[in-house]
Amino acid sequence: MKKKWFTYFVYISILFLIIQLIRHDYIIIPERLNYQYLSLSFLLLFAGFLVQGLSYKVILKKYGYKISAKDSLISFGLTVLSRYIPGKFWVHLGRAGYINKHYNYPLNELVYISLNCQFIGIWLVFLFCSFGFITLDISVVMKIIIFSIWILLSFLIFTRYFHKMTQWVVFKTLGKRINLPTLSLKNLFNVFPVFILYWLLYAVAFYVLSLGFTAEIGYVALIYFPLSTIVGIVSLFAPGGIGTREASLVGLFAMGGVTTVLATTISAFSRLWFLAGELFAFVLGMILNVHKNAKTVV
């Protein structure tokens, strides 16, 4: 119950913040919104959440753990809002806990695989965003830093150092010492498409959302939302990346020549827009879970 109240508090705070920003003219809603673009952005966003919900099934199968698509969506949907609990580990523990309960697979390995889903996504985003940043008017030092972060992530994910770090986190959280299998880049190529697909859907959805606000942006803006989301994920002090993601978006828009007011407007609205996607995943998970339990009773 405390976790739910914390989530409600977070979103109520965001709503009041946006109201205050509008009242003081920091956010100005354009007079002419393109509702066709806005509607399309929501459809693409929901599609992205569907694919992300299925990504757990895809990578679990690679480890020899078979689950249904329904259970993959349920485990994702029921725990999607727990990302706003400080610590950012609970979403993985909750998702793994659901699968452990219904399939009796080892909880520690399920948590590890869930973490890998996130790290693989981060790794792929940095890879493609690095190419996008080549076209931006930023310093060579910044480009080197971004490329270096990608190299560091590659080192962490695909070496035993990452596994040792994960073992330490699991031990501190669950009190269990575990041995984990090594991830091979070669063996994971066949699961990359599902990760690329849902990040691409999020990227295009946000790009279309920006067009709906009449923002004059180029195709390089496709990297804005994925990159800012990753910044929010790695900001451990910010539940759900609140604040850090929006600040990153404003900075990226500014580099693209968008006015600060319009950038702030889109960034603030994108929080509620993405919340709609999270609620979609949550409601879908609830419906599928109720349907599954009803069939079990019958």
The span from the CA of 281 to the CA of 49, in Å, is: 6
User: Which sequence spans correspond to the domains of the chain?
Assistant: 45-297
The span from the CA of 103 to the CA of 106, in Å, is: 9
Q: How far is CA 40 from CA 54, 84, 180, 194, 225, in A?
A: 22, 26, 42, 21, 16
Residue 21: its pLDDT value, please? 55
Residue 138: its pLDDT value, please? 65
Residue 171: its pLDDT value, please? 65
The span from the CA of 221 to the CA of 84, in Å, is: 26
Could you tell me if 217 and 246 are in contact, meaning their C-beta atoms sit under 8 angstroms apart? no
Residue 288: its pLDDT value, please? 93
pLDDT lower than 50: segments of the chain: 1-7, 9-10
Q: How is residue 149 written in tokens?
A: 């972060």
Residue 3: its pLDDT value, please? 45
- Which residues touch 225 (CB under 8 Å, ≥6 apart)? 202, 203, 205, 206, 207, 249, 270
Residue 140: its pLDDT value, please? 73
Is pTM beyond 0.75? Reply is yes
Helices (H), the chain: 2-23, 35-62, 69-79, 90-103, 107-133, 140-157, 160-174, 192-212, 224-234, 244-255, 260-297
Centroid of chain to Cα 57? 17
Q: How is residue 143 written in tokens?
A: 């480009």
Q: For residues 8-24, b (16+ Cβ closer than 10 Å) or e, as one string?
A: eebbeebeebbeeeeee
> Coil, helix or strand for 84?
helix
Residue 1: its pLDDT value, please? 43
Secondary structure, 3-state, 89-131: CHHHHHHHHHHHHHHCCCHHHHHHHHHHHHHHHHHHHHHHHHH
Q: How far is CA 152 from CA 113, 133, 147, 244, 248, in A?
A: 20, 18, 9, 21, 21
Could you tell me if 136 and 220 are in contact, meaning their C-beta atoms sit under 8 angstroms apart? yes
Residue 5: its pLDDT value, please? 47
Q: Which of 166, 190, 189 is nearest to 178 (CA)?
A: 166
Residue 261: its pLDDT value, please? 81
Q: How is residue 187 written in tokens?
A: 């063996």
Residue 68: its pLDDT value, please? 95
